[in-house]
Amino acid sequence: MSRFPLAIENYMSHVLVVIGPKQPLAEAIRLMRLHEVRHLPVVTNGKLDGLISQRDIYLMQSLERSDPSRILVSEAMTSDVYTVEPEEPVDRVAREMVRRRIGTALVTHGPRLMGIFTATDALLALAALVEDDRVPGEEAVAEAIEAEKAPGRKAGRTGTKRRAGARGAKLGK
């Protein structure tokens, strides 16, 4: 069990901009610029097919004679994406992203795409953990800390004040 069971749904971006796999790369570029995002989930009829990132686009553009209006998103996207459930602890997701050397986790519940968690969201979560006065799931964090201090267990990092907050909560979620 995670030491700080703060669900990823508290930190993910809920507003999603998606694209279809048969759209040209030029449309992905347009959407990324318009919405100031670096990742677009690729969806067909509500089903997650993959993810296209700014890095994928740069790679395709670096190829000789590449024309973004003639290359399909499906040709550049990553189909093996990291997905997590909304209840997954943020620390576990962040560690797995580091282990896989990826910048995005897609948050799904069954077949439904619910949000996206990026390295930027992870940094915002970290900032919130050190500066905010409120903790999403604060009771669970307090219980985890108390369980750690229970007789027979060695207390860890005593004297450290633990504070956190959620990006979603700040946005009036």
Q: What is the CATH number of the domain that holds 90?
A: 3.10.580.10
pLDDT at position 143? 67
φ and ψ at residue 121, rounded to 5 degrees: -60, -35
DSSP state letter for 17: -
What does pLDDT average to over the chain?
80
Helix (H) or strand (E) run with residue 25 in it: helix 25-35
What is the number of domains present in the chain? 1
Summarised one tens digit per residue, pLDDT across range 22-63 is 999 999 999 999 999 999 999 999 899 999 999 999 998 888
Q: Tell me whether residue 46 is in a domain.
A: yes
Cβ within 8 Å of residue 50, ≥6 positions away: 21, 41, 42, 74, 77, 78, 79, 80, 81
Residue-range definition of the domain harbouring residue 27 = 8-170
Contact 116, 12 (CB under 8 A): yes
pLDDT at position 6? 84
Q: Tell me whether residue 3 is in a domain.
A: no
Q: Tell me whether residue 157 is in a domain.
A: yes
Residue bearing the bigger pLDDT, 172 or 128: 128
CA 167 – CA 173 distance, rounded (Å): 9
168 pLDDT above the threshold of 90 = no
Q: Tell me whether residue 114 is in a domain.
A: yes
Q: Tell me whether residue 107 is in a domain.
A: yes
pLDDT at position 1? 46
> Which range has highest mean pLDDT (74-78, 129-133, 134-138)?
74-78
153 pLDDT above the threshold of 90 = no
